[in-house]
């Protein structure tokens, strides 16, 4: 991977001074067109210590218009980041459409360093690289142009650089013990890096290995690659629009219409089981929060299926410090300017917290699919992206619970009419609700599709018959308790 990058490639001072103004003017032109486009640019700067990553960033910062440019140094993680899945810190820094972000340090740093220092094994490394491929594929599909630069220097050269820095009192501080440690493990580092680059060098996210020996060659090449990537994207033909979609039709017998909607609970049994489940939930929640784990609880279902009622029965059992209820409504313009899942990553709960979603990221494959707000490409790839998202939450110590609440169309109508008649319920009913009713079958089909494709072993859907509210609430609370018990049990075992 790095052979060519050890050849002797140089740019003379004269050539550099001739070419930089031309490059700069072209970069500024490209940046101006980018600002009006629907895509964003992420530049990943990686490579060996001593190769001059910081200097490349300084050059790029000087050449580009700082309006529209962000530089993110990712050398330390905050407690807010440590409490969340690893990709959280990158998600939160993704640039909005029209903008460019430089990442100094990236999702490659930790996996490569850990592998080089033998702190992780091959399997784990492969798993992380696969995750990166998925992440970058998602970014590319979300209109983020990835420019990945690997700055390479040989081991010999690295030693020379370190020695030279050390010999000058003004720069000696730049070389620490850790750098010499890295130098000792140079070969292992290059081996791990080589593997990472090969495995993640995909059409949508190519690696560029740059010979970093000569700084003028290095900076100029970096700038040219960046320019090429933006121009290529600007000149790309617009995607062919997908043809018109026919509304989905559910299978005659499906997981939703097979639910037994006749299940009911009488008041007395309800009161008893609800109160017992709430006590249990309070205790489990306390144990979960004490262990700094977190939970995400998602509610989806037909309109008026009783999501709010279930949520209130849960929150009554919890300390107000432990939970947040997140009703999912229209995105803000900052949210619209980012990849679809960005707005949900923003709200990933910290350790020790419950995030309860009244509707969720599943909107993409439900209302957005049925109403045509998302293109076919968008909602089709959402299944995989959502599974990936939930897997990352789970691995990050955040348990995911998902409830689908189902009623019959007749019961829905009764509830709509009740809402219309009760002053403090009127706000809940809108013309949209009446319109959606007419597309009952299309929504049912979309929901069946969703349940089939996103019921995973780490985050299965629980289908709840909600024709009777009491039955639904008790089912939700008891399911949640069982789930939390299983999580805490697993945790105990793993600690043994």
User: In this structure, what token pair is assigned to residue 373?
Assistant: 């707000």
Contact 259, 305 (CB under 8 A): no
Enter the tokens of residue 160.
């020379």
Taking the C-alpha atoms of residue 71 and residue 364, their distance in angstroms, rounded to an integer, is 31
User: Could you say whether residue 427 binds its own copies (CB under 8 A)?
Assistant: yes
Q: What x/- string results for residues 152 through 191 when contact with its own copies is judged by CB under 8 A?
A: ------------------x--x------------------
Q: DSSP letters along 224-290, please?
A: HHHHHHHHHHHHSPPPPPPPPPPPP---SS-TTTTS-TT----HHHHHHHHHHHHHHHHHHHHHHHH
- Beta strand spans in 105-242 (E): 144-152, 207-211
SS3 377: helix
| Of the candidate residues 73, 236, 249, 486, the single one contacting its own copies (CB under 8 A) | 73
Q: Confirm or reject binding of residue 283 to its own copies (CB under 8 A).
A: yes
Part of the chain binding its own copies (CB under 8 A), chosen from 17-25, 108-116, 136-144, 154-162? 17-25
Find the binder of its own copies among 15, 17, 38, 65 (CB under 8 A): 65
Q: Is 420 an interacting residue with respect to its own copies (CB under 8 A)?
A: no
Question: What is the closest distance, in whole angstroms, from the C-beta atom of residue 200 to its own copies in the complex?
Answer: 23
The DSSP secondary-structure symbol of 365 reads G
In the numeric block, which tokens belong to residue 254?
């499906």
Provide the minimum distance between the beta carbon of 197 and its own copies in the complex, in angstroms, as a whole number.
22
Please give the Cα distance from 136 to 145 (Å, whole number): 10
Cβ distance 40 to 94 under 8 Å? yes
What are the b/e assignments for 138-153, b being 16+ CB within 10 Å?
A: bbbebebbbbbbbbbb
Q: What is the dihedral of CA 31, 32, 34, 38, to 10 degrees?
A: 150
Alpha carbons 268 and 260: distance in angstroms, whole number: 22
In angstroms, what is the minimal distance from the CB of 328 to its own copies?
Answer: 9
Tokens of 124: 């784990």
The binder of its own copies chosen from 98, 308, 384, 460 (CB under 8 A) = 308
**Distance separating alpha carbons of residues 361 and 343, to the nearest angstrom:** 9
Q: Choose which of 121, 232, 272, 319 interacts with its own copies (CB under 8 A).
A: 319
Based on the shown chain and the rule CB under 8 A, indicate whether residue 150 belongs to the binding site for its own copies.
no
Min dist. Cβ of residue 114 to its own copies (A): 21
408 contributes a contact to its own copies by CB under 8 A: no
Question: Cβ of residue 430: shortest distance to its own copies, in angstroms?
Answer: 11
List binders of its own copies among 205-244 (CB under 8 A).
Answer: none
Q: x/- string (CB under 8 A) for its own copies, residues 96-115?
A: --------x-----------
Q: Work out which of 10, 32, 124, 346 binds its own copies, going by CB under 8 A.
A: 32
CB of 343 vs its own copies, minimal distance in Å = 11
Among positions 3, 36, 66, 235, the unique one binding its own copies when judged by CB under 8 A: 66
Residue 401: strand pairing partners: 297
Part in contact with its own copies (CB under 8 A); list of ranges 56-64, 112-120, 126-134, 201-209:
56-64
CB of 103 to its own copies, least distance (A): 11
For its own copies, the closer CB: 55 or 201 = 55
Residue 95: strand, helix, or coil: coil
Residue 485 binds to its own copies (criterion: CB under 8 A)? no
- How far is residue 89's CA from residue 52's CA, in Å, rounded to a whole number? 24
**Residues paired with residue 357 on neighbouring β-strands, in sequence order:** 298, 326
Which spans of this chain sit near its own copies (rule: CB under 8 A)? 21, 24-25, 28, 32, 53-55, 57-58, 61-62, 65-67, 69-71, 73, 75, 78-80, 104, 170, 173, 279, 282-283, 286, 308, 311-312, 315-316, 319-322, 324-325, 327, 329, 332-334, 350, 358, 423-424, 427-428
């Amino acid at each position: 991977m790095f052979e060519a990058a050890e050849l002797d490639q140089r740019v003379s001072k004269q050539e550099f001074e001739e070419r930089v103004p031309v490059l700069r003017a072209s970069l500024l032109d490209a940046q101006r067109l980018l600002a009006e486009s629907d895509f964003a640019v992420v530049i990943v700067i990686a490579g060996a210590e001593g190769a001059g990553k910081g200097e490349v960033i300084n050059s790029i910062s000087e050449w580009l218009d700082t309006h529209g440019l962000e530089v993110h140094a990712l050398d330390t993680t905050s407690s807010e980041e440590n409490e969340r899945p690893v990709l959280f810190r990158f998600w939160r820094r993704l640039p909005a459409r029209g903008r460019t972000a430089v990442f100094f340090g990236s999702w490659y740093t930790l996996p490569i360093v850990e592998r080089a220092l033998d702190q992780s094994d091959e399997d784990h490394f492969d798993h992380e690289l696969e995750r990166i491929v998925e992440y970058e594929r998602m970014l590319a599909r979300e209109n983020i142009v990835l420019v990945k630069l690997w700055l390479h220097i040989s081991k010999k050269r690295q030693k020379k650089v370190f020695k030279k820095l050390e010999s000058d009192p003004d720069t000696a501080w730049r070389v620490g013990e850790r750098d010499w440690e890295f130098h000792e493990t140079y070969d292992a580092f290059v081996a791990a890096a080589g593997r990472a680059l090969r495995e993640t060098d995909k059409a949508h996210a190519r690696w560029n290995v740059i010979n970093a020996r000569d700084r003028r060659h290095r900076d100029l090449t970096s700038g040219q690659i960046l320019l090429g990537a933006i121009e290529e994207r600007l000149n790309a033909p617009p995607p062919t629009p997908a043809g018109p979609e026919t509304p989905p039709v559910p299978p005659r017998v499906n997981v939703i219409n097979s639910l037994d909607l006749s299940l009911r609970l009488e008041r007395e049994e309800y009161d008893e089981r609800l109160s017992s489940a709430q006590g249990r939930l309070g205790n489990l929640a306390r144990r979960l929060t004490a262990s700094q784990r977190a939970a995400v609880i998602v509610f989806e279902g037909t309109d008026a299926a009783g999501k709010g009622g279930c949520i209130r029965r849960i929150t009554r059992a919890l300390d107000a410090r432990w939970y947040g209820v997140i009703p999912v409504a229209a995105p803000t313009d900052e949210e619209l300017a980012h990849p679809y899942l960005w707005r949900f990553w923003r709200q990933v709960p910290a350790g020790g917290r419950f995030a309860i979603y009244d509707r969720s990221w599943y909107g993409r494959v439900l209302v957005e699919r049925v109403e045509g707000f998302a293109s076919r490409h968008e909602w089709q790839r959402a299944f995989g992206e959502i599974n990936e998202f939930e897997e990352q939450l789970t691995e990050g110590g955040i348990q995911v619970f998902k409830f689908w609440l189902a009623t019959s169309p007749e019961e829905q109508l009764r509830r709509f009419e009740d809402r219309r008649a009760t002053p403090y319920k009127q706000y809940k009913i809108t013309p949209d609700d009446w319109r959606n009713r007419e597309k009952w079958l299309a929504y049912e089909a979309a929901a069946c599709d969703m349940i089939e494709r996103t019921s995973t072993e780490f985050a299965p859907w629980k289908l709840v018959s909600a024709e009777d509210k009491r039955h639904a609430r008790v089912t939700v609370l008891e399911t949640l308790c069982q789930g939390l018990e299983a999580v805490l049990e697993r945790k105990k075992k793993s600690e043994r």
